[in-house]
Chain A
């Protein structure tokens, strides 16, 4: 049984991080250059961690499967990044950002972590502006803000609809500088396929060079994994095609606990599915809900009509009706479920009746088309490219889609997993968003972890490791892990099946979406738990992976990732089945109030479920970290 010690410092909430920074061990500057740190991933969390640790003097090696660190999927985030700057003088504060985030997460995250996130949020904006991130500004030259779901203040900083891109390019530029100075050794097109433990501590990784196919061993004093989330387990999601869970899943199979896998975010505003061939779904930024109004016809009979021909009185602006105080800015989980509900009632629009309108007619009347274009022009363009429809004239059609995962590898307050020496940052960990993440908080967390948390906390571990005690990559543990990777590759390539990988990914995605998507039931999850192992068996019997191991082979890359999803999907459903309550994104139909809202069970489930691998074919162990609320009182989340 794993030990889950959160290491949350004692004392008043607002003093915890300051006190912790004063208490934890330091590595002296002359010793820092004696430590090797591996960083896997170069999104916001990975790139910011790699460059910052290099600035401190550590020797850093950074691995990405992309051709360049600038491609990481953080780049696709559109809407913005939250920070408790209170530049708008509208009552924001560190405490309010903390409170909104913990409430938004439906009281399933650690108070201390969330408060720290809110504290360092202000430093992130300073850092990004200093790097040259061109945030939106007012005519006076000061920074502009907008509001986002789940908040009643304007605290979101943005760069048109390309905030993630600009923040990532900021982190990438800092990383580029560190590479140029020889402080970071960059390994592009290099995919982590196993974690190496020596004496129970993370001391290296095994990678595959995606061009030559070479299986390589890398030893270090500590390993940081910042490889993003597992939303592609649903096949159709807003994630990039290459997003995968392989690094964290292989770490799980080496003993790292996987926390709250069932907390998966379904984003309310995505372009609906249009056909069987579809490879991904495209998000329309939540920021659109600032000015767009969401509605469906009141009557089923009107669904096929031109939206413009439906009279105002015959429209149901259901979010405004159900949640008058937050309206169209209700949090993501709530908005998604509301959309599902009206479509289930037969009032959805567009193909298959799976869509709702996001209408800008009022905003255009109020602000003028030019202003709407300035705020959201690139989003309207994306919508036009995909659907060939002009959203300035006719409302957008949107539907929820898998977007982000709150679950991930378990970490303590230092961002260290239960495996000493393995740190996990950004979406890959579980730490800050509880059961639901608020909009514009993912960018905040990724950069908080990389720029302002790990640079302090990693020292606490490294100070316990003698400089120069790093094991050799020639050791037996490295050989065993490399052999494991080679065996997986060989098994996939030697398989004499008939079906391409995508065939299985689509079927897995359908099971996950149908039984473990926006609404879950005991019966459905039990069905999924039967179907997934059967599908996995079929995958191994019938998948065909063409090509060879020693060249660039995209089929092989994808096959290994989907093979891992086949296992992760099962754990996700098991977690969802075991968590017999509804909270945030995890909605069990059996547990709801008469008005359809989530019914939490704080007595039984105010905890983190951290699953521990027990070996192939064995049920994983469910460890529990209780969540103690010292400073806020968990209540029924209300946005009415």
Chain B
């Protein structure tokens, strides 16, 4: 929930995870951040703190950010124990200082998950998501080979549901929120988006088998139905998609037993 628009300035104590590199130990460091306009964003507050650190000759806090409008999926901080901080259905860059009260201690740390190692301070390496995507998160359609876009009507309900899944921004909050560091919401979103569309049927079995296999290889855990992932998701992607993926996976496993050639995992497309 967004609090009411207000303009009396607040001061907070920022407790930030500082870690110089992947192999160095990290620790929390406190910084005072005073006289903040509640309408400034959380990342703008970090900008201000960083400029102060720079002026003092200290190294600023490294944090991941880019579009600052909740769509690129770059920003990734756990604020007061919650990936992307207070609020529902938003990314870190959409947190505003009006969510905090004067005098609060605000703890900021990187997304914690073994498959997302810390690079520096609040920045983690989430390239595991790219690897899962490369394992099968696509519909093979060479440029130039496509039929007319309206050749295959798609019921609006299917298209809308595919779009619900496709809104995933690949931020990794689902993994950070899960006690098992499961990536199943991320994988399920892609599997469902493509599997719901007629264009995605040819590779449907291959896709789910390959992506799940890669997810397991990379050390992501399994889903144990706590649904913290959906609660932390900036796009509020439903955990129902995990059930859909499990069903797809089961069907694909059975079909691959009957006809392994047609769904063999890996190899060229």
Residues on A lying within 8 angstroms of B by beta carbon are 48, 51-52, 55, 66-71, 73, 75-76, 85, 87, 123, 125-132, 134-143, 159-160, 162, 164-166, 169, 172-174, 176-177, 179-181, 186, 188, 211, 240-242, 274-275, 277-280, 282-283, 381-382, 384-389, 451-452, 455, 498-500, 502-503, 544, 546-547, 551-552, 554-555
Contact of A68 (CB < 8 Å), options: B68, B129, B144, B153: B129
Contact of A159 (CB < 8 Å), options: B5, B96, B163: B163
Contact (A277, B37) CB under 8 Å given A169-B166, A389-B5, A452-B143: yes
Segment with Cβ contacts to A, from B130-138, B177-185, B237-245:
B130-138
Which of chain A's residues have a CB closer than 8 A to the CB of B258? none
Confirm or deny: B150 has a beta carbon within 8 angstroms of a beta carbon on chain A.
yes
Closest to B196 in A: A134
Cross-chain contact B58 with A275 (CB below 8 angstroms): no
Cross-chain contact A277 with B44 (CB below 8 angstroms): yes
Closest to A129 in B: B149
CA distance A555 to B121 in the complex (A): 14
CA distance A52 to B70 in the complex (A): 29
Closest to A133 in B: B166
Contact (A277, B156) CB under 8 Å given A76-B72, A87-B150, A241-B66: no
Contact of A173 (CB < 8 Å), options: B137, B144, B163: B137
- In the assembled complex, how far is the CB of residue B212 from the closest CB belonging to chain A, in whole angstroms? 15
Segment with Cβ contacts to A, from B45-53, B106-114, B216-224, B225-233:
B45-53
Cross-chain contact B126 with A68 (CB below 8 angstroms): yes
Closest to A127 in B: B146
Cross-chain contact B143 with A55 (CB below 8 angstroms): yes
Which of chain B's residues have a CB closer than 8 A to the CB of A211? 119
Closest to A378 in B: B167
Cross-chain contact B133 with A134 (CB below 8 angstroms): no
Task: List 17 extra interface pairs beyond A141-B154, A382-B69, CB under 8 A.
Answer: A76-B67, A123-B144, A130-B147, A142-B153, A159-B163, A166-B163, A240-B66, A240-B72, A241-B66, A277-B40, A277-B48, A279-B44, A385-B87, A388-B3, A503-B51, A552-B120, A554-B62
What are 9 residue pairs bridging A and B, where the CB atoms are less than 8 Å apart in the complex? Answer: A76-B71, A126-B147, A131-B141, A132-B197, A241-B67, A274-B40, A451-B143, A451-B144, A503-B51
Cross-chain contact B193 with A132 (CB below 8 angstroms): yes
**Most chain-A Cβ atoms within 10 A of its Cβ — which of B20, B50, B87?**
B50
CA distance A488 to B101 in the complex (A): 43
Contact (A134, B159) CB under 8 Å given A240-B67, A388-B98: yes
Which of chain A's residues have a CB closer than 8 A to the CB of B169? 165
Which of chain B's residues have a CB closer than 8 A to the CB of A140? 153
Which of chain B's residues have a CB closer than 8 A to the CB of A48? 143
CA distance A541 to B182 in the complex (A): 50
CA distance A296 to B146 in the complex (A): 47
Which of chain B's residues have a CB closer than 8 A to the CB of A546? 53-54, 57-60
Contact (A385, B96) CB under 8 Å given A143-B150, A551-B21: yes
Contact (A85, B55) CB under 8 Å given A55-B143, A211-B119, A274-B39: no
Cross-chain contact B146 with A282 (CB below 8 angstroms): no
Contact of B199 (CB < 8 Å), options: A132, A176, A381, A554: A132
Which of chain A's residues have a CB closer than 8 A to the CB of B123? 552
Contact (A278, B21) CB under 8 Å given A73-B72, A129-B146, A173-B137: no
Contact (A544, B54) CB under 8 Å given A67-B127, A130-B145: yes
- In the assembled complex, how far is the CB of residue A273 from the closest CB belonging to chain B, in whole angstroms? 11
Which of chain B's residues have a CB closer than 8 A to the CB of A162? 71, 167
Cross-chain contact A75 with B71 (CB below 8 angstroms): yes
Closest to A276 in B: B37
**Most chain-B Cβ atoms within 10 A of its Cβ — which of A52, A240, A451?**
A240
Contact (A275, B133) CB under 8 Å given A76-B69, A141-B154, A142-B153: no
Which of chain B's residues have a CB closer than 8 A to the CB of A283? 69
Cross-chain contact B59 with A547 (CB below 8 angstroms): yes
CA distance A76 to B71 in the complex (A): 6
Confirm or deny: B81 has a beta carbon within 8 angstroms of a beta carbon on chain A.
no
Cross-chain contact A554 with B60 (CB below 8 angstroms): yes
Which of chain B's residues have a CB closer than 8 A to the CB of A159? 163, 166
Contact of A275 (CB < 8 Å), options: B40, B47, B140, B150: B40
- List the 3 closest pairs (A to B, CB-CB), nearest first: A141-B153, A173-B138, A130-B146
